[in-house]
Amino acid sequence: MDSERRLPRISPREFRGFEVQLDLDGLTIMGKLGNISEEGLCFVGDDDFLSDEIDNLILGTILFDQGSQRIFFEGKVMWVQTAKIRGVACYLAGLQFTEKMKLTDSMLARVLEI
């Protein structure tokens, strides 16, 4: 990834209404959006499905506005770790997009909520 970002990483306390859906060899994994930049995102899930997928390509969809809007992406799993968020164990995965993503106005507006 480039060390210089064109836009800041968007990481408000919560991405209400944003979900991430990943396709893993026919298995659909649902999770939350931890943060996002034009180069990648942090996937927050309940299960450790991605630890064997480091450096593998993965297809995904970001769902928002109650699923009425979707952004499709292809990326690579760069890292996986566990963390406690508000006292709950979660599995985090860093996904790097294959191509830089142009973030929507809806996502950019989240910067103002930080």
pLDDT digits (tens, 9 = 90+) for 42-62: 999 999 999 999 999 999 999
- pLDDT at 108 (0 to 100): 62
pLDDT in tens, 85-102: 778 889 999 999 999 988
- pLDDT at 85 (0 to 100): 78
Enumerate the domain spans of the chain. Answer: 19-113
Compute the mean pLDDT over every residue in the chain, rounded to the nearest whole number: 82
Q: Would you identify the CATH topology of the domain 19-113?
A: Thrombin, subunit H (2.40.10)
Does residue 76 carry a pLDDT above 70?
Answer: yes
Q: What letter represents residue 80's amino acid? A: V
- 105, 24, 18, 109: which is closest to 68 by C-alpha? 18
State the Cα torsion 107-108-113-114 to the nearest 10°: 100
Ranking 7-16, 50-59, 74-83 by mean pLDDT, the lowest is: 7-16
> Hey, how many other C-beta atoms are within 10 angstroms of the C-beta on 8?
11
- pLDDT at 111 (0 to 100): 45
- pLDDT at 113 (0 to 100): 52
- CA–CA distance, 67 with 2 (Å, rounded to integer): 31
Angle (CA) 106 107 108, round 5°: 95
Q: Is the pTM of this model over 0.85?
A: no
